[in-house]
Amino acid sequence: MVWRQNRSPRLSDELLPWRLEMAKFPVNGKAFIVTGACPGLDKWSIGAAIVTKLLDGGANVLLADMNGNVQEFANKLGPRAFAMVGDVTDSTFRHSLITAPMEIWGLQPQGLITAAGITRDAFTVKPPKDGRPAVLASLDDIRLVLEVNLLAPYCLARELVAHLLNVGMLSAKDPTLKVVIGFISSIVAHGNAGQAGYSMAKAAYLGLIETLLQEWGKYGVHVAGLFPGFTDTQMVEKVPPKILELQLLRTRSHKLHDPCDVAKQWVAALEEAEETQVWCDYFNHGAKAIRGANARLMAY
């Protein structure tokens, strides 16, 4: 797999001169929504790690997760953290997330990080065995993976932008950077056998980010994606050890990323809010930029 490194200027660069003037985006005093924010029993999730980094930076953070333990986690983090338990595929829950920061802290949400995600691993076609015919992967599982990993973040992002337009916080007349939306993703370039649905969902972010930037850049909304490699969370515990070992051999570092390192990179990148859009740490070629000269690398 080879990504083109020297691309001609993109259409969006010409359409969106504001991107060249983007200021820093200190998180201090801003309200963020982070989905997938519950830590695992004995491991951080990427979302939980991002929450703590945002709090360290002085932000107020709404933690969203379907795991009820997120409540106890938020209680320990203090008054700038607040948990809401629910399913991001539920439109009523998503709507309540958008309006909550104003009710809790008197702040409109200025950042959204969508880290809730699931896998439902299965080979697309399992070959015939013991006289039984080939078996196809469950389409219901694939639909669920697309729903949680792709459609829910997209719906949440657009609901946030619609809300901020409604309350008059975003305007094409003043396109200075006001909101950052980030998708946490992976698998874009390397694929992973047994994860067809997951790779469909995550790869779609590349087109989505470009499209949303073109639609929302004029209001001062920055859309970005972080595409880390395998990270040491509960999600990866589900990968059979032999497969994980083989996959890690193909990485540059040969080891799992620490979710706290991933979070540190993400929040630092938010605060700088450069033209950076996509970071990628993918296999075979080490860590390389998808986005060209302005891209920041997640290099380990």
The residues annotated with a catalytic role in the active site are 198
Q: How far apart are CA 30 and CA 244, in angstroms?
A: 38
Q: Residue 13 or 141: which CB sits closer to ligand NAD?
A: 141
Shortest Cβ contact with ligand NAD: which residue? Answer: 117
Q: Residue 214 or 247: which CB sits closer to ligand NAD?
A: 247
Smallest separation (angstroms) from ligand NAD to the CB of 237:
9
Please give the structure tokens belonging to residue 289.
Answer: 């930029």
In 3D space, the residue among 121, 117, 282, 126 whose CA is nearest the CA of residue 193 turns out to be 121
User: Residue 155: left if φ>0, alpha if ψ -120 to 50, beta else—which one?
Assistant: alpha
Q: Residue 85 or 169: which CB sits closer to ligand NAD?
A: 85
Sheet strands (E) in 86-148: 109-114, 125-126, 135-136
Q: Residue 55 or 151: which CB sits closer to ligand NAD?
A: 151
In 3D space, the residue among 150, 209, 202 whose CA is nearest the CA of residue 180 turns out to be 209
Smallest separation (angstroms) from ligand NAD to the CB of 148:
5
Q: How far apart are CA 155 and CA 260, in angstroms?
A: 27
Backbone angles phi, psi at 125, to 5 degrees: -135, 120
Smallest separation (angstroms) from ligand NAD to the CB of 228:
4
Q: 286: helix, coil or strand?
A: coil
Smallest separation (angstroms) from ligand NAD to the CB of 229:
6
Interface with ligand NAD (CB under 6 A): 35-36, 38, 40, 45-47, 65-67, 87-89, 115-118, 148-149, 184-186, 228, 230-231, 233-236
